Structure 1
Amino acid sequence: MREARHAGPAGAVVAAGAVFAATLRSSTFSWTDSALSDLGVAPETALLFNGGLVAGGIVGGAYALALREDDPTVAVGYLLSIAAMALVGIFPAGTAPHFPVAVAFFVLATATVTADGWRRRETASGRLALALAGLHFLGWIAWFGGVRPGPGLALPELGGVVMFGAWIIALAPPVTSR
């Protein structure tokens, strides 16, 4: 089970690392004018971005086994979240399934972090998980409400990447309670 506990953080580092590396490699990406998924269709970054999301999903999959020990519901939410993340890499922007799987990733990731935070709300890590999920949700509300520096989705998407990654690496039950 020790290896399973490390799979989630490793998958998060692989996926987030690929996303951030692609932003640095891109000559056209803008945090205020682009969506992160734009990196999945640009020739200079498509393989890095899409491959990183798929690889992160594959590497992180075993983490659901560790999460299952603490809460099967959270484990299923996590597994569905990373499956949706990997599907974003398989179905890049411009393909019919892209929008639904991208939305599914952000909704499922936020719901998973919220469910875990609510269940463990008596602990500091549970309350922090709830705060991160709330901030991510508020970021989208602000964006949809027109409070944004530009038309791009990258900044509220970044909030989701940070929220989910921080939860996996520092706040999720097997990492913090075992």
Structure 2
Amino acid sequence: MNGVIHRYERVFQRSTFARFGAVGLLIVYGTLISTIALSPTFQWTGSALSDLGAVGADRSWLFNGGLIVGGAFLSLFAFGVFSNSEHWGKQVGSVLLTLAYVLSVFVGLFPYPQPQHTPIALAQFVLIPVGLLTFGVESVLRGASGLGGIALALGTIAVAGNLWLFSVVSAGSEAIALPEFAVVFPLDSWAMVMVWRQYHGKSAQ
């Protein structure tokens, strides 16, 4: 009887955390799309994503608010993945991805050009590929080749995004929106996959 109760408690927890993830993704991308639509000067090939939330920007409150609120929901979701993981590699990977989402909140709290903004963003960009690759390797080693392959592919894309970002910045350009997105979107793609799995009763074990 206790085993049955424990099982249903875990299912309830997974579904609750999955809702956190779904709400967080809707908030982040809803506010991102809205801010871009309301910011005529923003260009994917000529701006940085942080320009949307920069101090003094017309819709900075919308962009930064989305990062803060959406990032908080996604942090809870990623922590839920950690709490439902039984293997250390997935636990380490999900903790790193949880921290990456926590840093999203701080990116919104300290918008560009505040001095805290850049180191926070850089730390997030490092955590994303490391977390995804760690989660992916452990998943493959534990026999979840499909989930592991997705995480590894997303981690590789995030690494490539970081290299692209480094090359653009090294060339003296501030047009970093696309490479920034190439780093952060794999994290959100992982969240989408995990939300879908949890809604369908699959654990992160």
Conserved? CA contact 1:67–1:174, under 8 Å: no
Deviation digits for residues 129-168 of structure 1 (CA, Å, limit 9, x no counterpart): 11121122113323433599x7411001111232011100
Are positions 1:113 and 2:109 aligned together? Answer: no
TM-score normalised by structure 2 residue count: 0.77
1:47 is aligned, of 44, 57, 61, to 61
Correspondence for 1:59: 73
Are positions 1:8 and 2:31 aligned together? Answer: no
Correspondence for 1:97: 116
Equivalent residues, number: 177
Largest Rg, 1 or 2: 2
Are positions 1:17 and 2:30 aligned together? Answer: yes
Conserved? CA contact 1:126–1:171, under 8 Å: no
| Runs of 4+ off more than 6 Å | none
Shift of residue 128, structure 1, vs aligned partner = 1.6
Structure 1: which amino acid aligns with 2:19? H
Are positions 1:145 and 2:196 aligned together? Answer: no
Conserved? CA contact 2:128–2:158, under 8 Å: no
Conserved? CA contact 1:66–1:174, under 8 Å: no
Correspondence for 1:154: 177
Gaps of 5+ in 1: none
Structure 1: which amino acid aligns with 2:113? G
Structure 2: which amino acid aligns with 1:126? G
Structure 2: which amino acid aligns with 1:92? P
Conserved? CA contact 1:53–1:89, under 8 Å: yes
Deviation digits for residues 93-136 of structure 1 (CA, Å, limit 9, x no counterpart): 01010001111122112221111111112511211211121122
Gaps of 5+ in 2: 1-12
Conserved? CA contact 1:4–1:62, under 8 Å: yes
CA distance in 2, matches of 1:160, 1:27: 24
Identity of aligned residues (%): 29
Correspondence for 1:68: 83
TM-score normalised by structure 1 residue count: 0.87
